[in-house]
Amino acid sequence: MVDGPDFLAAPDGSPHPARFDPESRIMPLGEPVGFFPDGWVRAHAVFSVRALDRITSMSLEMWSPPDIEPLSITMKLSDSTGVTLTAPAGRIAVLQFPLDIPAAAERTIELIADQERQLSDRDRRRAAYKLRCIGLY
C-alpha cells in the first residue's frame, strides 16, 4: 500500500465523488459538498444517504499530510451531537465512527476537520485530508 498522497488511485477510474465503499449498505443522495474528484476533502464536507439496511458504523480511510498536527475529524449525523476522532499526520488511518441509522432512513452526514491548508504553491485549493473511501455498515 502506498503511504502518501498518491495512495488514492481509484480502482474503476471514476468513483462517486464521496468514494463510498461498494459494500456500504447505502444509496448516495444528491451531490456531496466539500469533496474534490482527486480525493482531497475540505475541512467541512457534507453528503446525504439513504440506508438500505440498518447502519451502525462509518469508516473513513484517509491520509493527512505529514507536515501538520494530528488531524481531528468530527462526524455529525443530521442534527445530532458530533463524535470526534483523531488521525495521525503523514500516515494512512482508518477512523471508525458509531452511527445509528434505521433501514430506509435518509440522513445527512457532516465531516468537520479542525484544520485545512492550501495544497501547494501550484494547487491553490484548500483541503484537510485525502480520502480513499467511506464505508457505512
What pLDDT score was predicted for residue 80? 86
What pLDDT score was predicted for residue 5? 45
Residue 85 sits at the vertex; the CA angle it makes with 97 and 95, to the nearest 5 degrees, is 50
Q: Say whether pLDDT at 58 is over 60.
A: yes
pTM above 0.85, yes or no: yes
3-state secondary structure 2-64: CCCCCCCCCCCCCCCCCCECCCCCEEEEEEEEEECCCCEEEEEEEEEEEECCCEEEEEEEEEC
- Domains, the chain, with CATH or none: 26-136 (2.60.120.260)
Question: Tens of pLDDT along 61-99?
Answer: 999 988 888 999 999 998 788 999 999 999 999 999 999
What pLDDT score was predicted for residue 9? 43
pLDDT, averaged across the chain: 88
What is the Cα Rg of the chain in Å?
14
